[in-house]
Structures are given as C-alpha cells and as structure tokens.
Structure 1
Amino acid sequence: MDPALIFSADAEASGTDRRSLALSCRSGKLVRLRPGVYMQADDWQKLPPWERQRARIRAAVEQVPGQRVLIQQSAAVIWGLPVIGDSPEVLLLAIHPTHGRRRGNLRWTERRLLEPVTMRDGVPVTSRAHTVLDMAAYLNFERAVPAMDHVLRPDPDRGLPALRKEQLRELAEHLPDSAKRLRALRVIDFAQVLSESAGESYSRAVLYRHGFPDPELQHEFATTAGRFRTDFYWPGHKLAGEFDGSVKYGRGKAGIAPSWDTLLREKRREDAIRATGVGFVRWSWNDITRPPQHPEALVQRLVRAGLSQSRHR
C-alpha cells in the first residue's frame, strides 16, 4: 500500500495551518513532495528510489484538478515498468482541443490514444501496451528497451499478464506517423523475454548501439562446482558477461549493498565459470551510463576483453 500523502488544504480543514506543516518539514518530521503536499519523513526514508518517484507522481496527480491522465514515463512508474534515469516532469495527456502546455513540473502533451484510458491503483493512466509504445516512439532506443522487455514477461507481483509482440505490432500501426511507427517496431523486434532485469535490457541495447555481436542470453555452464547461468555469453569469443545491479534503475541513487555471503557466492561462481576456459566481464550501472570513450565504460571493458565491434552500427 502506498504511504499516505498529507495535503495542506486537508490539514487546514482539520485545524492545522500551513505554517505548522512548514515547521514540521524544517524539523525533519515531514518531507515536502511538491508545493502543498507532504509525507511523513519515516515513510519517505523507507521507500526505495523508484517508489519515491511514484510518490511524487501520485502527489501531482491527486493535487491537479480536472483532466489528469498519466502518459509515457509517468504512466510507466504507476504500472511498475522500468524507467531509466530521473524524469523531473510529470507527463499528462492533453485532451483535444487543448494543446501541450507546462505548469511547474507538470507537462500536458497531445497523444493519439491507442487504447482506452484505464485506472491503475486509483490513478488514470494510458494502457500498459500504449505506455510502452509511447516510450518506444518518443524516447531513445536504450531507454525504451527495458520497459518493452519487461511487458513480454508476466508480472506476478502486480497480477499482470505478458503482452505478445503481435499485439504490440498491431497497436503500433496506429501511432501518428511513420517515423514513430518505425521507432516503435524497432524496439518491439529487438525486445527479448529472456532479459531478466532493467540493467540487462539496457546493457543489451548499449551493446547493439555500439556494434557488438548479439550475445546468447541466460547461457548455462556446467562446471565442477555445479551449473551456473550468466546474463550474456559470446560463444565465438568464449566470453561471459554479467550485469551487477546494485542500484535498480539508474545512476547515482542509493544502492542495495550485497551481503558478504552474496559476494562470496558470486566469486566462487565466477571462478568456476573461468575454470572452463571462458573469460568473464562484469559491469554496473555506472559503467553502462559512462561515455563510451571512458576507460571504465562498458564499451571499453568489452573491447579489452577481446570482443570486437564488427556488426554494422
């Protein structure tokens, strides 16, 4: 259940004035999500970064009067889809004849509805399929792939079924112009159900962008210590790759520190795979978001490991 939001208008109706809320905020008891909306600081501190983003979006939607259908990245957060990087604006559907406009961090944008608006957790949003197609049509390739990979798998935590590529392709034909249709179809065709995390999906898109050969996903190795899978494997180069996701969806956020036992198990697993004669490369969010020329960027790590950028970029 989402933590409760505290609205200054409601507080005034119950006898608490705005000055008291501001004082509680300065003393650290409350956190201000946006003008006139607060949350208990204890609740805020317990939230991981992606849930904090959800709380800020909820605060905006519940405060805005009238039309407030979430679209694109903002709808994706409500659906539980991976959104790469911070999205400071809350994106809302502009209904014809209203044109796009901005107010503070709220942005109304015109979109052709591909499916009817639906409700998710009490919030009006574009459908799950429409949301990922919008991301594919309007975001860059790397940021669109993780959400598309995600919807190809069932989401049991949220009770959501997998979407089929055929269904997404048919819906993409109703995007407003050929350029957007082509962008969306490219992401759909590239999407893979075997990508098991946003970091793996983003890594795969970066590999593709920079001309590296396509890897096998979730390859299983038989070793003397047991059978182990890796995120990526290039059999022609005898090279395995692994994404380490210490942070869920972006760079520079509070990490989830692995335990010593986890680190030890990973070290033994890597050593067992290396003992089969296979090279091993690990990378993190920092590595895939660095400029490709940076010596610690994913691109440079793979080149040093002997993986050639041979495919046409």
Structure 2
Amino acid sequence: MTPAPPLLRPSPATIPPEPLVGTLIHRSSIVSAGRDDRALRRAAERGELVRVAPGTYVAATAWSRASPEQRHAVVVRATVARSSADLVVSHRSALAVHGFPLLAPMPSRTHVIHRARRTTQTTSLVVRHGAPLADEEVGSVDGLRVVRPLRAATDTARLDDLRSSVVVLDHGLRQGAFDDAALRAAVEGAPRVGRRRALLALDLADGSSESPGESLSRVVMVEIGVPLPQLQKEFWDRRGFIGRVDFWWPGLGVVGEFDGATKYLELARRSGRDLDQVKIDEKKREDRIRALPEVSGFARWDWSTANDPRQLALTLSDAGVMPLAGRRS
C-alpha cells in the first residue's frame, strides 16, 4: 500500500505527470534572445543544470526531486520537441507522461508512433514504431501528442515482461483510465505479436491492488507457485474496525503486508501524525490483527524481497503460505 524507493518505482499515482515542463531551458531560446549559450554548458559542468536532450536543460534541483517516470517524461518532451515529424508518444514513454508507475529501468529511448512509417526505426534517442493509430487513440498532455492510456497499456503489455505489465494494468484499472472490458477488447484486437503475453497479464490484473509493490508481489507469487490471496481484506474486532490488509489467505489464516520504504512517511503525511506515533499505531494495528482467532500467520516484506522470488517464498512459507505442490496440511 506504499510507494517504492525511487530507483525501483516512481512516485505515487497522484503526482502531476509532468512537473518539470515549465523548467525546461532550450538553447534555441537563449540564442534567439541574443544571449551566449556557452553559459548553459558551463552551468551543466558545475552541476547546476542537467542536459536532458541535445540543446535542452533542466535545473538540477528540480531534476533531483523528480521520480524516474517524471524524468523520462521530461526527456520525452524535450526529444519530441526537436522533431518536425508526425510523432505521437507511445508505449512506456506515453505511460510515463500519463503519470503511470513503471518498474525500473526506465526506457533508454523515447518511444513514438510515426504513422508515415511501415517499419520500426531505432536511433540513439528515439524508437519510431511504424504502426496504425486511430485518431481516437491520440490525446494530449500539456500540448504533447500522446497515445491514450488504453493503447499505451495494451502495447506495453504485449512487449514488456509480466511484472511490468501487471503493474501498469493494475494502476490503469485502479485509476479508471480503462476498464476490464475495454482492456480485453483492445488486447484481443491487437497484433498477434505478444498478444498471449498481454492476455496473461490481463488475467492477473486487478484494480484492487493499491500499489506497484503489491502488483509486483502478486506476480512473483505466481512465479513461486503459492496460492493467490484475497486483496484488501478488512478486519474488525470487538473494539471496531482495525484496518485493511494488502493480502489475505483465508484458507490458511495468513495476512500479508507489503511495506515500501516510504510507507510510514506517507501515513504520517496523510494523517498529520509524527513518524514515531505512526510506527506505534501500526504496531498496535498489527497486534490487534494477530490476536484475531482466524489469523494464524503474519508476513511483511519490502521491495528487495518482492523482487527476489526465493526470499519472498521463504518469507511466505515462514508465515504458513507454501507452494501449492508442497503446502502444509
């Protein structure tokens, strides 16, 4: 239920998709104003500016605060602005612009659809996909032409690995960017390449998953062969509502919680409590859940464990969740 460290996953879905647009500094604007552009290079050498594309810079302070997705979205905008071709930002690049979470690493190039092309062309900066694109599949974010989330998610699910795809689909379903019926129709109508992969991701997708870490954990659970849990289970005791947990295995009596690195900071921010009080309250919450007669095990894990099938398997087995072939009776 919490965001992951910046190097593993970006900021929460509530962030603006393009926070750095207003801070882009273009060499062409400096030159047209009659100023010496060598000051830009010197500022970059001093670490005051970051070069995000040829002739385009951003303040280092703003760059340091940005998530990986936000950084890629800025690179996308700076790169596309240099082209006069009929380009529409696509695939994972489009998702970054729309504010979707992406698993690392970020794309090393900007992905676009160039409707005038029939084949895909890759350069050092851009991947130009030659693909059909209907007008209704094209939208705009702050003036940037970008494929809509449904098309971007469909293309990404066909080409990316299962972990990345489920993170994207879960987020889109949760945020209402598309629904299951529209997503299934889009996948089934997509080109054959990668369609089976996308359908598998769709079968696993669940809008109830509240964070990329939870989505990743579910995919790794499939990889290690443990039974899939119920999501967002609410617990109550005689004193009232206790809370909602990320994962619940009712047949085993096991609770699972994904703890991202900034979980307690985010809880403190939302509730107005200080960090120490949040940690105390969370411990009391867990104690109340553990005391329930239907709960026999409790597991917590973080990003490093979720990314490591062996470690997640050990964490879950210690709590009583075993692979289906060797599950405890």
* TM bracket, shorter-chain basis: 0.7 to 0.9
Partner Cα distance (2:66, 2:276) in 1? 24
Change (3 A) 1:29 1:69: same
| CA positional deviation for 1:162 | 4.4
Instruction: Give the conservation status (yes or no) of the 8 Å contact 1:213–1:311.
Output: no
Q: Which has the higher helix share?
A: 2
Q: How does 1:78-227 map to 2 (within 5 A)?
A: 78-87=97-106, 88-113=108-133, 116-154=137-175, 161-177=176-192, 180-223=194-237, 226-227=241-242
Q: How does 1:240-279 map to 2 (within 5 A)?
A: 240-246=255-261, 259-276=275-292, 277-279=295-297
What amino acid maps onto 2:115 in structure 1?
I
* Aligned partner (choices 226, 251, 254) of residue 236 of structure 1: 251
Instruction: Give the conservation status (yes or no) of the 8 Å contact 1:224–1:272.
Output: no
* Map of 2:314 onto structure 1: 300
CA offset digits 1:101-154 (Å, max 9, x no partner): 222232122334365322222111112111111111111111101111122233
| CA positional deviation for 1:308 | 1.3
| CA positional deviation for 1:284 | 1.4
| CA positional deviation for 1:257 | 10
What amino acid maps onto 2:144 in structure 1?
V
Change (3 A) 1:62 1:256: farther
Instruction: Give the conservation status (yes or no) of the 8 Å contact 1:246–1:256.
Output: no
Partner Cα distance (1:72, 1:247) in 2? 28
Aligned partner of residue 133 in structure 1, secondary structure: helix
Instruction: Give the conservation status (yes or no) of the 8 Å contact 1:117–1:126.
Output: yes
Partner Cα distance (1:111, 1:202) in 2? 30
Aligned partner of residue 12 in structure 1, secondary structure: helix
Partner Cα distance (1:227, 1:68) in 2? 51
CA offset digits 1:249-277 (Å, max 9, x no partner): xxxxxx97973332222222112211224
- Amino-acid identity (%): 32
* Aligned partner (choices 61, 64, 67) of residue 42 of structure 1: 61
CA RMSD between the two structures? 2.5
Residue 77 (structure 1) aligned with residue 92 (structure 2): no
Instruction: Give the conservation status (yes or no) of the 8 Å contact 1:112–1:175.
Output: no
Aligned partner of residue 74 in structure 2, secondary structure: helix
Aligned partner of residue 66 in structure 1, secondary structure: coil
Give the gaps of 5 or more residues in structure 1: 155-160, 249-254
Instruction: Give the conservation status (yes or no) of the 8 Å contact 1:215–1:233.
Output: yes
Instruction: Give the conservation status (yes or no) of the 8 Å contact 2:242–2:285.
Output: no
What amino acid maps onto 1:25 in structure 2?
A
What amino acid maps onto 1:119 in structure 2?
S
Instruction: Give the conservation status (yes or no) of the 8 Å contact 1:72–1:91.
Output: yes
Partner Cα distance (2:168, 2:95) in 1? 8
Partner Cα distance (1:275, 1:256) in 2? 26
What amino acid maps onto 2:261 in structure 1?
S
Partner Cα distance (1:117, 1:307) in 2? 45
Change (3 A) 1:71 1:162: closer
| CA positional deviation for 1:63 | 2.5
Instruction: Give the conservation status (yes or no) of the 8 Å contact 2:231–2:246.
Output: yes
What amino acid maps onto 2:282 in structure 1?
E
Partner Cα distance (1:15, 1:94) in 2? 35
What amino acid maps onto 2:131 in structure 1?
R
What amino acid maps onto 2:203 in structure 1?
D
Q: How does 1:18-29 map to 2 (within 5 A)?
A: 18-29=37-48
Question: If the length of structure 1 is used for normalisation, what is the TM-score?
Answer: 0.85
Runs of 4+ residues over 3 Å off in structure 1: 223-226, 255-258
Residue 282 (structure 1) aligned with residue 300 (structure 2): yes
What amino acid maps onto 2:246 in structure 1?
D
